[in-house]
Every structure is written in structure tokens, then in C-alpha cells.
Amino acid sequence: MSVTVRFAPSPTGQIHIGNARTALFNWLFAKKAGGRFVLRFDDTDQERSRREYADQIEADLSWLGIKPDLVVRQSERFALYDRAVEKLKEAGLLYPCYETAEELELRRKIRLSRRLPPVYGREALKLTEEEKARFEAEGRKPHWRFLLPNFDDDPFAPQRTEIKWNDIVRGQQTVDLASMSDPVLVREDGTFLYTLPSVVDDIELGITHIIRGDDHVTNTGAQIALFQALGAEAPAFGHHNLLTTATGEGLSKRTGSLSIASLRETGVEPMAVASLAVLIGTSEAVTACRDMDELASRFDPASSSKSAAKFDPAELQMLSRSLIHSMPFEEARPRLQELGIKGRQAEAFWNVVRGNIDKVPDAAFWWKVVREGPERPALSAEDGAFVNAALDLLPPEPWDRGTFAAWTDRVKAKTGRKGRALFKPLRLALTGLEAGPELADLLPLIGREGVLSRRP
């Protein structure tokens, strides 16, 4: 079967850099295998899920360079989940439970005090039809648990039952089904917890590889059992390490910290975000990749470390700058056009300024300086007189990169100024700033007329 992966966010907030890591791991994995990428919105929780968040997530992924082959929404697929529920009930694998949260907590404490593992003891399986009818008459509604296949004949005597998988990221993994409670699949109010819809969709959509954060490792055992109970073969799994903030806190969709949208607003390059999100916490060196092909060639899920990795926004800015400083004009061109930077000079201009900016839109500032001159620079009377004298010595056009040296040599000879005393007032008069791109490069872009118009 051809490789099919999925990224399955619940649209309850903005995705953050940690979610981007999961999405990109899937995207790059599919890309390398020539496979498909499904974007699945886990929006069965209709109270907390919002269409705006889903749309924002699609836009964020697209900005990062991820274009799903298919988008599905769990809120449109309830009929499939209902059918799976019926199937499990008929097979006796989904059973009704009437305990309240308080009752369960009490039982858990009792088990712990008897040094028994604090798992659900399947007491509900012992209920008679009369007892169930009495609960119903009292107005209690059942929640439904999946009977894990961790026993021979007697569900009250679970046996060690190892579920093994060769994790794409973590290598050989084993979980014991006897160490877990039967998971609740359907709540009292009939709504689904994440497990059942997720497994049903993974089957239905032909998912071959599930790649997600390592906070899901323990879910995998029960999920593999559920795949089997529904008559399907479980896909391959991979669980990558999670990202934290620079101070080690977990990331959350709700707090909006390090959201892709907020990073994007800082003007950072999407490939800087993608490169860092993928390469951080792996044995690969963290450098900025120019495009997804390059990142795919550096991506190896098995090179991820097992511990959480700290995400440092300062590192992101550095990677972003390195991409901009070497960005070919052809790549920058459409974005420069949007900023009004176009025409004969645009390419030469870009090659001159890219090394001096932190984000592409900053080029607009330098375009204005080159075309219109700076705001009135603060020059002392003495420096103003010097600049005026220097402008009288400008060589005739055509100008090239050597013009500046030829000009300033004459100025030096005539005025006796040199070094900082010579260059600083000229730079201030021409650009309004004390630092920036090489004046030798700027001069031909500004042109003789432009330079003369900057007379103090």
C-alpha cells in the first residue's frame, strides 16, 4: 500500500511550533516515500472546536509549505463512528459502565492501598440486567469502555499481554495491556473521546504510518488492540520528542505561545521555522534549509532524541537572517514586487541590501532611501559644509562599484579628511543612518542626480 500519513489537530486554538513539528515530520516522511498527506481535523468536540481555527491551521500549514492531498473533518463522519460502536457492542467488546467520577476515584484509592495497580477493575461487567435497569431508572447514563484483550477466559484475571511495535522514531516498543484500564470510548452524553474516531478514520482513510508526539506512546497499545477489534491491521507508528519553551515549559494551543501565526507576524521566514521545527532535538546540525527538498534530505525520524527539546526564538531569528542574506533574487522577486520594489534596479538593489536586513519587508525601507533619499539627516554645520564640498567633486556617470573609491580619493585629497571623519558624514547624508549596505554598492543605485539631491 502506498504511504499515507495524517496530521490530526483538534481545531481548538492556534497550532504552535510543536504541532508544526508533528505536521512536518508527517509531510517529510510522505514526501520522501512519494506518499500522501491527509489533514484530519479532530473536531468531534463541538463546543471547543471552531471553523476559524481549522481555517487558520490550513493557512499556517500552507505558509510552512504543506499542501494536504485531502482534508477531512471528524464532525462530518459521525455515521462511521456510530457503526463502529455497534460493531464493538455486538462483539461484546464495548460495555456500559455507570460509575461516577467520585466512585472511580474511591475504588482507585482502595486498590492503591491494597498495592494493586490502580486500573479499572471491570466491576461494570458484573452488573445484572436489573441493576443496569435500576441505574437507568435513576437517570444515570452509561459511559462505554473497550474491553482490552488482556485475559484468557476470565476478564477479572488479566494476564500480561505484550503489544509490540517497531517505532519509526523510538525503535522497539512494548506495552503491557494488563497494566491499563479499559479505555472509555463513549461518554455519558454520547460524545466520543478521541480514541475511537481516530482509529476508525485511520482505518477508513488507509493511513499506513501514524507519526505524532511521544505523549501518545501509551495510547498506542490500546489503539493497536482497537484496530484489531475492528478487523484491521494496525499501521506503523512513530512518536517524536516534544518541544518546550526555552525555559522548559510545555507548549499549548490555548495559551497561543509560539503559535505559527505569531511567528509569522514577526516576519520570520517559513523555511527557518520549518528547519528549526524539524532539526531541533535531533542529531542533525540545526541549519536553515532553503526548501523542502533540502529539508527532506536532512530529515531522518530515527535521529530524534528521546528527551524534549527546547525551542529558542533567538535561534529562529538567526536562521531566518541566514536565509535572507543568501536569498536569490528570483526567490525574493514576488515578495519584493508586493512591496513595490520592481523595475530595472530591483535585482541589483536586492543583492546589495539583503545582507543588511532581518526580514524581507525591511527592504522597503532601503528602497525608499535609495529612491527618495533619507529623512533630513542630522549633520553638524561643519560636516554639512564638508558634504557640500564633496558633492562638488562627484565624477560624471556612468557609475559602477569603483566610483565610490575614485570619488572619495578625490575628496580625501581635496579636504584632507580621512577614515571615519570622511565616511560618516557621507553615509549620513546619503542614507540617513550610520550603518547599512556598502556605500560603494549603493552609489550606482542612487545615481548622480539622486546623490546631488541629498545636498544638506
Which CB atom, from 237 or from 349, has the smaller least distance to ligand GLU?
237
The residue (of 198 and 408) whose beta carbon lies closer to ligand GLU is: 198
**Residues binding ligand GLU: number (CB under 6 A):** 8
Are 98 and 112 contacting, i.e. CB atoms less than 8 angstroms apart? no
Q: Tell which positions 317-376 bind ligand GLU, by CB under 6 A.
A: none
Q: Return the number of the residue (212 or 240) whose C-beta is nearest ligand GLU.
A: 212
Q: How far is the CB of 20 from ligand GLU (least distance, A)?
A: 13
Q: Determine the length of the chain.
A: 456
d(CA 126, CA 156): 10
CA angle 280, 281, 283 (to 5 degrees): 95
96 near ligand GLU (CB under 6 A): no
- Least separation in angstroms between residue 202's CB and ligand GLU is 8
- DSSP character for 340? T
- The CB-of-50 to ligand GLU minimum distance in angstroms stands at 15
Q: How far is CA 53 from the centre of its chain?
A: 15
Q: In whole angstroms, how close is the CB of 219 to ligand GLU at the nearest point?
A: 7
Is 212 a binding residue for ligand GLU by CB under 6 A? The answer is yes
Stretch touching ligand GLU by CB under 6 A, among 5-13, 60-68, 331-339, 347-355: 5-13
Interface residue with ligand GLU, options 25, 27, 165, 194 (CB under 6 A): 194
Distance CA 108, CA 111 (A): 5
Q: What is the dihedral of CA 437, 439, 441, 443, to 10 degrees?
A: 130
Question: Of 3-11, 321-329, 340-348, 413-421, which segment contacts ligand GLU by CB under 6 A?
Answer: 3-11
The 138-177 contact track toward ligand GLU, x by CB under 6 A, reads: ----------------------------------------
Residues in 303-322 at the binding interface with ligand GLU, rule: CB under 6 A? none
Task: Determine, following the binding rule CB under 6 A, whether residue 9 of this chain makes contact with ligand GLU.
Answer: yes
Distance in Å, CB of 435 to ligand GLU, minimum:
46
Q: Which is nearer to ligand GLU, 81 or 366 (CB)?
A: 81
Q: Confirm or reject binding of residue 42 to ligand GLU (CB under 6 A).
A: yes
The residue (of 10 and 320) whose beta carbon lies closer to ligand GLU is 10
- Cell numbers standing for residue 307: 528527551
Shortest approach of ligand GLU to residue 324 CB, angstroms?
33
3-state secondary structure of 7: strand
> Measured from the CB atom, is 232 or 439 closer to ligand GLU?
232
Distance CA 104, CA 15 (A): 34
- Using CA atoms, how far apart are residues 410 and 405, in angstroms rounded to an integer? 9
87 is in an annotated binding site: no
Terminal CA-CA length for the chain: 73
- In three-state secondary structure terms, 64 is helix
Smallest distance from the beta carbon of 9 to ligand GLU, in angstroms? Answer: 5
Interface positions, 228-267, toward ligand GLU (CB under 6 A)? none
Binding residue (CB under 6 A) for ligand GLU from 14, 198, 208, 408: 198
Report the interhelical angle of 270-279 vs 51-64 (nearest 10°).
Answer: 90
Query: Percent helix, strand and coil across the chain, each rounded to 5?
Result: 50, 10, 40
Q: Is 44 in the site for ligand GLU (CB under 6 A)?
A: no
**Which residue, 211 or 442, is less far from ligand GLU as judged by CB?**
211
- For residues 70, 71, 72, 76, the Cα torsion angle rounded to the nearest 10 degrees is -120
Question: Interface with ligand GLU includes 16 (CB under 6 A)?
Answer: no
Report the distance separating Cα 197 and Cα 216, nearest Å.
Answer: 15
CB 383 within 8 A of CB 411: no
Q: In the chain, what is the greatest distance between 2 CA atoms, to the nearest angstrom?
A: 110
Using the rule CB under 6 A, is 8 a contact of ligand GLU?
yes
What number of CA atoms fall less than 13 Å from residue 317's CA on the CB side?
A: 7
Q: What 3-state DSSP class applies to 40?
A: strand
Of 226 and 353, nearer to ligand GLU (C-beta) is 226
Instruction: Tell me which residue of 375, 374, 333 sits closest to 354, measured CA to CA.
Output: 333
Rounded CA separation 146/221 (Å)? 13
Nearer to ligand GLU, 40 or 427 (CB): 40
Tell me which residues touch ligand GLU (CB under 6 A): 8-10, 42, 194, 198, 212, 216
Binding residue numbers for ATP? 253
Binding residue numbers? 253
